[in-house]
Amino acid sequence: MTAKQKDRVLVVLQMSGAYDALNTVIPYNDPLYMDYRKVLRVEPEQVLPLDEHVGLHPSMAPLKALYDEGKVAVLQGIGYPNPIRSHFRSMDIWHTAEPTKMVTDGWLGRAIRDLDPHKENILTAVNFGRGLPRALAAPGVSVASVGNLETYGVLTGIQGEDQRVEALDIFARTYSPAIGNGPVNDYLSQTGLDALKGADILTTALHTYSSSVTYNRDLFAQWLKNVAQVHLADFGTRILYTGVNPGTFDTHANQNISLPKLWGEVTNAVSTFYQDLKEHHANEEVVIFMFTEFGRRVQENGSGTDHGSGGVAFVIGDAV
């Protein structure tokens, strides 16, 4: 008897702020890098080499270990035509996959609609973080957005599902004079019911999760732990999204201090997450995509780097 093949799961990690591609995947044998980075350059003997041309920042040792196992693909020189160098517009382009026009649908929102066209699973996608990334937004698509899985809930002060549904109905009727009784009101009501059901299901992940792997206490690591908990609970979730807070990697100053710390925390969390999945034999179906909005300029500005264009992204997992 053959084991049933599990559906692929995509985990998206948004590294907001635009990390410096040249000090992430370092062209350590390029003399131009040494010339333009008098202060910020990483010396060749410190680089974690991927080949004879480029290598990872020394703080990214956990990711290098995964690379050595054949679990990491490095995507260099990525971006979009006519770079704008605005955090907001650049991230908007990444979220919608539309570089030339403004649209309402996020690329993952469209994917959710394709994965679950009949809305049979209210947890097809789950986000961990503040607010809902535009990538996950699309008309008629409900996505749970969780700040902390341990405290997540909807109307938790009201006991009983019937009473909470009634409270949501009162909320919808309260706002109906302003928005009318048409599709918008129906959407608000349905979204509230979906959030209620999703919250009740999600919190069960805490009770079924057990692991010998220990995550660090930083916020990103804890969100990745939540991602693991939801994935391992087998809710049928196909897209899981999280990242660092806005502006985290925006290293206009003091980059030699902030970038090593950030990459140390992020890559440690990613490695821990992978080991957690592996312990539970749940690593084969998961693919991780880690990206940022753009790269930074070759010329340093003194103690940091300013907005540039071509960046670097990573794909991580057994499928690599």
Q: What pLDDT sits at residue 192?
A: 45
Using a cut of 0.95, tell me whether the model's pTM lies above it.
Answer: no
Q: What pLDDT sits at residue 201?
A: 84
- Helix or strand (DSSP H, E) at 169: helix 161-179
Whole-number CA gyration radius for the chain: 21
The 3-state DSSP composition of the chain as helix, strand, coil percent (nearest 5) reads: 40, 15, 45
Q: With a cut of 70, which residues of the chain have pLDDT below it?
A: 1-4, 153-198
Q: What pLDDT sits at residue 246?
A: 86
Q: What pLDDT sits at residue 4?
A: 62
**What is the spatial order of strands in the sheet that 55-56 belongs to?**
25-26, 55-56, 48-49
Contact present, 136 and 241 (Cβ < 8 Å): yes
Q: What pLDDT sits at residue 175?
A: 42
CATH of 9-148+203-316, one of 1.10.10, 3.40.720, 3.30.70, 2.60.120: 3.40.720
Average pLDDT, the chain: 88
In order of 10, 53, 253, 308, the CA distances from 25 in angstroms are 23, 10, 19, 15
Token couple for 26: 């370092």
Q: What type of residue sits at position 46?
A: Q
Domain boundary assignment for the chain: 9-148+203-316, 153-198
Instruction: Count CB atoms within 10 A of the CB of residue 256.
Output: 15
Contact present, 74 and 50 (Cβ < 8 Å): yes
Token couple for 60: 């990214």
